Structure 1
Amino acid sequence: MNAPSKAASSTASDVDVARAIAESAAAVLVAARASYDGDDLTVLKNLGDSTAQDHIAGRLSALRPDDEVLSEEAKDSPARLLASRVWIIDPLDGTREYSEGRDDWAVHVALWEDGELAASAVALGGPETVLTTADVPMLRGAAGAPIRIAVSRSRPPALVTTVADELGAELVAMGSAGVKVCSVVNGVTDAYVHGGGQYEWDSAAPVAVARAAGLHTSRLDGSPLVYNREDPYLPDLVVCRPELAQTLLDVIARAEQ
């Protein structure tokens, strides 16, 4: 894939850059998995992480050379704390699912600018489906019954089980954090509650897309999700239909007492 010209990099909007990078990185990941002929899943996970990281780093260097980057797969730089524009990247969210040949993995590309998530894109399981902050549709309708809560297929937090039991909710298991957030965006589920430990790159891009769709996003205690902090550890979040937010937060508060 040819690198964009400098002229293209100066005229493309930030969301167009996010979309193009997420889409092309997902295509690179699909190709890398198809070409791997071994049977060691750890090797395939590492191949996916490194391949996507190298691709995204190269694209950002060409398209937005003056911006800082926070990525799961790259060394952190304190320079980002003084920058007004920082790309928050997860080159491959859901390495386990990717290595197992599943499609519930994602590529996260988000831009943080002057204290807020400004633009983002999430590629879901390949280059064919990319959600962005520019064109994600606003969520319509209301939650049905029972409420559906997205949960990790491999390590569901005990908190979520407690919340689901109190609400009579259905737990829907799936892979990456990005896939779970976007399942709420797409109406596949009604909420995603997580309390088991994450970092900023796990949620920045999908949270930005969720906000653009009109969803509630917060920490478990209802406080805002804040990005580009010195310590990128951001262990918990709630993403849900807005009409469910207060009910979920109240149940979570009781469960954590």
Structure 2
Amino acid sequence: MNNVNSQEAGAESDLELAVRLAGEAGRQLMEMRAHALREDVGPTELKNSGDALSQAFLGRELSMLRPADMVLSEEALDDASRTTSPRVWIIDPLDGTREFSEGRHDWAVHVALWCAGRLEVGAVALPGLGLVLNSGTEAPKRMPLEGPLRLAVSRSRASELVKALAERLDAVLVPMGSAGYKVGAVVRGDVDAYVHSGGQYEWDSAAPVAVAGGYGLHVSRIDGSELAYNQQDPYLPDLLVCRPELAATLLAHIAQIHQAAEPHMSGLNKDGMYAR
């Protein structure tokens, strides 16, 4: 990914800004949660407070430091005119509110920049691990595949599509929390692929996809088509992130599974994709 800097020479670059904002938002959320858990704050209040805190911080910083840019966020009203802007920050202030409220580590903060038709930079903070993954990191050398394929799946239940894939490929399902954390698990090598078909929005995947692409991973929709961002409707229902050598195999099996599925089959949503 290119590191676009709309500011004068010597100023904080877009990538540096994304990394700093994601990391600082994560730090503030960790502090808030520690205090709230000591005070026995309920999970609903903690979720809402976390969303509000991170949104306020990210929105304020972006407004001050990139005033000409627009922002698409899960936690703010959408301005339809953003689709005419050449630069749009796509953020998820707290990805994985359930995990955050339960004191778990598998949640994330997403900060990405879409510029002139593509994702340019992205940062995914994993505060529970003390990490900020970013799109500017040189892709590491990956170890050869060994043992069964590992697929990241939802903690609540694996989608019918992923269960079918696992059966075909003798894969192991690895439950974990937020979308950003799942993509981060592929980036870090804890799993080999993340296949999602249950419905998402641009803020769920923009920063993780930018990071995964920067690390040399395959990213696409589950039919192999490109992921498009800063669309009028930010709904982006499905996602495949995997080691590049697995992409052709996974896409072929996904296509075969969809071809075999009856249209009326329980679990298919309005897009014809398997619901979570």
- Compute the TM-score of the two structures, normalised by the length of structure 1: 0.94
Give deviations 1:37-85, integer Å, cap 9, x for gaps. Answer: 2342111111110110001001111211110000000000012110000
Corresponding position of 1:28 = 28
1:1-257 equivalence runs, <5 A: 11-36=11-36, 37-126=39-128, 128-257=130-259
Q: Does the 8 Å contact 1:10/1:63 carry over to 2? A: no
CA distance in 2 between partners of 1:144 and 1:236 (Å): 27
Corresponding position of 1:4 = none
Q: Does the 8 Å contact 1:153/1:174 carry over to 2? A: yes
Q: CA deviation at 1:139?
A: 4.5
Q: CA RMSD in A?
A: 1.6
Q: Does the 8 Å contact 1:143/1:241 carry over to 2? A: no
Distance 1:99 1:8, change over 3 A: farther
Distance 1:199 1:114, change over 3 A: same
CA distance in 1 between partners of 2:223 and 2:27 (Å): 37
CA distance in 2 between partners of 1:8 and 1:50 (Å): 31
Q: Does the 8 Å contact 2:124/2:134 carry over to 1? A: yes
Letter in 2 for 1:25: A
CA distance in 2 between partners of 1:180 and 1:38 (Å): 28
Corresponding position of 1:3 = none
CA distance in 1 between partners of 2:47 and 2:138 (Å): 29
Distance 1:9 1:18, change over 3 A: farther
Q: Does the 8 Å contact 1:139/1:213 carry over to 2? A: no
Distance 1:139 1:160, change over 3 A: farther
CA distance in 2 between partners of 1:47 and 1:143 (Å): 41
Give deviations 1:107-130, integer Å, cap 9, x for gaps. Answer: 000000000000111100348210
- Compute the TM-score of the two structures, normalised by the length of structure 2: 0.88
Give deviations 1:21-41, integer Å, cap 9, x for gaps. Answer: 001100111111112123421
Q: CA deviation at 1:157?
A: 1.1
Distance 1:40 1:24, change over 3 A: same
Q: Does the 8 Å contact 1:139/1:185 carry over to 2? A: no
* Structure 2 residues without counterparts, runs of 5 or longer: 1-6, 260-276
Q: Which moved more, 1:117-126 or 1:7-16?
A: 7-16
Give deviations 1:5-36, integer Å, cap 9, x for gaps. Answer: xx999711000000010011001111111121
SS in 1 for 2:191: coil
Q: Does the 8 Å contact 2:220/2:240 carry over to 1? A: yes
Q: Does the 8 Å contact 2:105/2:129 carry over to 1? A: no
CA distance in 1 between partners of 2:83 and 2:112 (Å): 16
Corresponding position of 2:272 = none
CA distance in 1 between partners of 2:141 and 2:202 (Å): 24
Total equivalences in the alignment: 251
Instruction: Report sequence identity in percent.
Output: 56
CA distance in 2 between partners of 1:48 and 1:214 (Å): 32
CA distance in 2 between partners of 1:237 and 1:10 (Å): 37
CA distance in 2 between partners of 1:126 and 1:63 (Å): 27
Letter in 2 for 1:105: W
Letter in 2 for 1:35: H
Q: CA deviation at 1:155?
A: 3.3
